[in-house]
Chains A and B, each alone.
Chain A
Amino acid sequence: MSGYRISRRTPESTVGLIGFGALVVVLATLPWWDSDGSLQTPLVAILYYLALAQMWNLLAGFAGLVSIGQQMFVGIGVYGLLQMAEVGGVDPYVAIPLAGLLAAGLSIPVAAFAFRLRGGYFAIGTWVVAEVMRLLTTESNDFRGGDVRALTRESLGGYSLETRTNSVYWLALALAVGGTAIVVLVLRSRLGLALRAARDNEGGARSLGVSIGRAQLITWVVVAFWTGCTGAVILLHTTSTTAGSAFSVTRWTALVIFMVVIGGVGSTTGPIIGVLVYWIIDEQLGDADAWRFIILGGIAAVMATVAPKGVYGLLQQWRPLQFFPVRRRLAGGPSTNTPPQAAEPEVVVEEGQ
């Protein structure tokens, strides 16, 4: 009996981890070898979109919370940083986690409303809350969301342009890598087990004592925190904003959803693929804004019907590779002296990807 063990590792996951680590090192050193910034400039947006995509995917793909209101957390991050740096005189880099905490704090009363709705109505409900926040920001005399507001040189803390450009890039990289790590860590924890048990069979999970509401709330708050931090970094990148662009459903939710759906919802690799696909399409289209949405929205709508697991799902059908293993498998067994290839996973304890 004692020969059994629960394992998540697969050969390709080891390769995946090494490859991912190497990629992160290459990307982290980019400011030193990409001197003209031809790669660094577009990568900032791609990286913070990856962070947003991982967070939306954690909610919709794993926690069963299909939110169309992610722009509220981005907006809170943007205006949180703006107010702290402009009015409070807080160092902008210190203000980033504080803006994230603000988003996390506000996400709890939002959940008190939105969690009363289910499925499609939860989606619209979160959208309404985001809309309320946009309107309040627009009409408030403190936030003046109707005007263009920019971070002044003083509120940027007197850092040089080069320092700011590079630090925004590294922050975006940290958000993307950290966002991916959060998803993997959440899914490998008891919380992730509860979420997926609930997703696969809600009644069964409840009867086993899984507190679904609690697991969903924790995930919601974590996602709000990271999305809020991302919003703050987005403001450091753009340095100016309006309520309309900070709380934009198309920029911070629709595009993100399309990326995740095309790449593969409900997997950790899917959002990465989706963001890369978006990057390629985006480069081809240039300024044709309406067409970009028609094409991405159309692909996503068709994908959601015919290939609900996205590009990653199609790859899985071809070769079931797991680069970020979150699935527990029963390995080993009484005859531990059998060669490794005989210890192929016979029992998949949990359908994770």
Chain B
Amino acid sequence: MEWVNAIVQGILLGGLFALFATGLSLAFGVMRFGNLAHGDLAILAAFLAVSFASTLDVNPFVTMALVVPIMAAGGYVLQRFGFNWSIGADPLPSILVTFGLAVVIQNALLEQYSADSQGLDVGSFETRSIEFTDDIAVGWFPVLILGVAVVVLVGLQLFLSFTRMGRAFRATSDNPSTARLMGINDRNIYAVVMAIAFATVAVAGLFLGIRQTFGPTDGPAQLIFAFEAVVIGGLGSLWGTLLGGIILGVAQTVGNQVDVEYNVLSGPLFGHLIFLVVLAVRPSGLLGRSQQ
């Protein structure tokens, strides 16, 4: 029964990973932009929520109304007046810029908030759960996270499929210069993509902060989990991202279970190994478009 519980918890954890992965996947899909600061941005959002929650004396859930728009605006401005300069055929500048930003965010947080772990306290909701059997209990909060992840991914899919802007996203992704000829302002598209990416990663960061304690240097681990979810699911597939998140989540909770019983592998390590297996066996990911 512990194993069944581990799998159920893993699926729920997968929702969080999928939410982390959405923005990374979108930015890479539309503009081949691998944002190495992605995880640190989530942690930054969580720290912003800590500050707002304490100065305004409100529930961390309420701070989402402030943190998400601020992060989205930050994403737009940063892309429009910064990252756009580094986009091109050569991926090197974009990697260097975002890696530099990642290190700056980590150390600025360290300087501002110290290395102590922080948490976001949302009251009793965090621990409330439905018990199915003695061994299997499903928390309301993890269910909420998975639900939000599904809603975000469905919404994004609908947006890409049926709106004018979504069509512009896909056109720019396929061929930026032709899209430009058709009157699409690709610089603006990129900035909107980054705003969406920042908004989703802010939500993910807040959920992470409510779920567990976090510190200024936790960003890279989140980047790596998000990246693994993207690659397992398949590049360029939003449903793949959800599936990849869930597989990674299950791998980690099952890995932790193995660790408890046999003391050989920790959860994250087990997740990394699953990622490497997928990369070796099916490099285009489970639901990805096959590469040439």
Contacts and interface: CB of A to CB of B under 8 A. Distances in A.
B272 A132 contact: yes
A121 B227 contact: yes
A261 B220 contact: no
B272 A120 contact: no
A109 to B, nearest CB: 10
A88 to B, nearest CB: 25
A129 B273 CA distance: 9
A120 B91 contact: yes
Contact of B100 (A113, A265, A291, A301): A301
A258 B26 CA distance: 27
A113 B276 contact: yes
Interface stretch (A225-233, A303-311, A345-353): A303-311
Contacts of A305: 82, 85-86, 93, 97
Given A121-B227, A124-B227, A139-B265, A308 B103 contact: no
A304 B37 CA distance: 15
Contacts of A124: 34, 36, 223-224, 227
B91 A304 contact: no
A249 B280 contact: no
Interface string A291-329: 101101110111011101000000000000000000000
Interface string A251-267: 00010011001000100
Contact of B266 (A116, A119, A139): A139
Nearest to A135: B269
A294 B36 contact: no
Interface string A191-208: 000000000000000000
B92 A66 contact: yes
Interface string B237-274: 00000000000000000000000000011101100110
Interface string B16-50: 00000000000010001111100000000000000
Nearest to B88: A308
Given A123-B36, A127-B220, A294 B107 contact: yes
B103 to A, nearest CB: 4
B279 A301 contact: no
Contact of A128 (B33, B102, B224, B264): B224
B113 to A, nearest CB: 11
Contacts, number: 135
Contacts of B276: 113, 128-129, 132
Given A265-B92, A290-B110, A119 B269 contact: no
B108 interface: yes
A135 B264 CA distance: 11
Contacts of A75: none
A254 B97 CA distance: 12
B96 interface: yes
B36 A297 contact: no
Contacts of B224: 124, 127-128, 131
B272 A249 contact: no
30 contacts: A60-B92, A61-B92, A66-B91, A112-B280, A113-B280, A117-B279, A120-B34, A121-B231, A124-B36, A125-B231, A127-B220, A127-B224, A128-B275, A132-B276, A135-B272, A254-B99, A261-B100, A290-B108, A293-B103, A293-B107, A294-B103, A297-B101, A297-B102, A298-B104, A301-B96, A301-B104, A302-B100, A304-B97, A304-B100, A305-B82
Interface of A: 60-61, 66, 68, 112-113, 116-121, 123-125, 127-129, 131-132, 135-136, 139, 249-250, 254, 257-258, 261, 265, 289-291, 293-294, 296-298, 300-302, 304-306, 308
Interface of B: 28, 32-36, 82, 85-86, 91-104, 106-108, 110-111, 220, 223-224, 227-228, 231, 235, 264-266, 268-269, 272-273, 275-276, 279-280, 283
Q: Which 5 pairs from chain A and chain B are nearest by CB?
A: A120-B34, A301-B100, A119-B91, A304-B96, A297-B103
